[in-house]
Structure 1
Amino acid sequence: MARNLEFNEERAVEKAMEVFWKNGYTATSMRDLTDAMKINSSSLYNTIGDKRTLFIKCLDTYTEQRRQKFLQLTQGQSSPLDQLKYLIKVVIESIEKTPAACMAIKTSFEMAENDPQIHSILKRDAHFSYMQVKGLLEKAVIAGELNYMFDTESTAHYIVNSFTGWYEMYILNKNKDQILKMGDFLIKTLF
């Protein structure tokens, strides 16, 4: 009798996340998912649930991974302003290395407006990014790297929203130099 392979839900969700990330929710079929996860559809329904439930798990996983990466990039011993400049450069580098763009950004355009649960996940993720950037700006003010009158709230929103725009520009133009110039311009203009 053939031995059943043990189902690894975490690995299966990672594989499904890759498919959703590349195709988006609507263009992803159950067949795409079961092929990537190397399970049959009844196993998917019995262990995880339907396509939407799986997508929510994937989106939660993706945003948690982003939060962990963001925390790694915003914690350290260097000056807050240097950390922020480094964060901006890392985002620029990740844009070129992520041919499927950002799953959160893609999902926000595809689904966030009409799905309250997805809207909530993405809003929480965006707020987290905003708070990390704002925290670095506030620390830079305290450290005397920025003027005490510096508008940390508006600047944090501007920086985080610049990241979204850069992804769009790269998708449309595939021009890394253009993104690098925008990042340099952002740093020179703000700091």
Structure 2
Amino acid sequence: MDQYPDAVLFDRDGTLIRDVPYNGDPDRVRPMPGARDVLRALRGHGVRTGVVSNQSGVGRGLLTLDEVGAVNARVEELLGRFDTWQVCPHHPDDGCECRKPAPGMILRACEAIQARPERTYVIGDIEADVKAALAAGAIPILVPTPQTLPDEADRAPHTAPDLTSALAMVL
């Protein structure tokens, strides 16, 4: 078995970049502390990286897919190229299979980059990220932020205080 995971998938808002609700403005993108270094380290070890992001602002009529794409492009300008992007544009009431906590985006990301879910980590800041990872058979790491509910952190199988600490759990 390889010493490194097949892939690490990240939630976008609150994990890789500061959470700006329903952000459609690339100028408001600010990386989270440690994000650049963590991604550089993963890529340096040949670990594939991806983003799995609920973007209900599209389904709510608050954002367009083009605006989400422009923000994602800015994320890549600041943090480097990801091997896969999976975005759920649906409203929470749509009942889709992709919106976290459903496993759809994680499974699609793994398929897109030929990663085995059981050898894939999913790093996020809320319980929906953890539940989606578990449902997909991946390994969740919760990195709490002020938006994370305390009981969500208590229920998560793995938590890290920041991205750098999460990296130490992965490599």
TM-score (norm: length of structure 1): 0.27
TM-score, normalization: structure 2?
Answer: 0.29
> Which has the larger strand fraction?
2
Structure with bigger RCO (C-alpha 8 Å, 6+ apart): 2
* Larger-Rg structure: 1
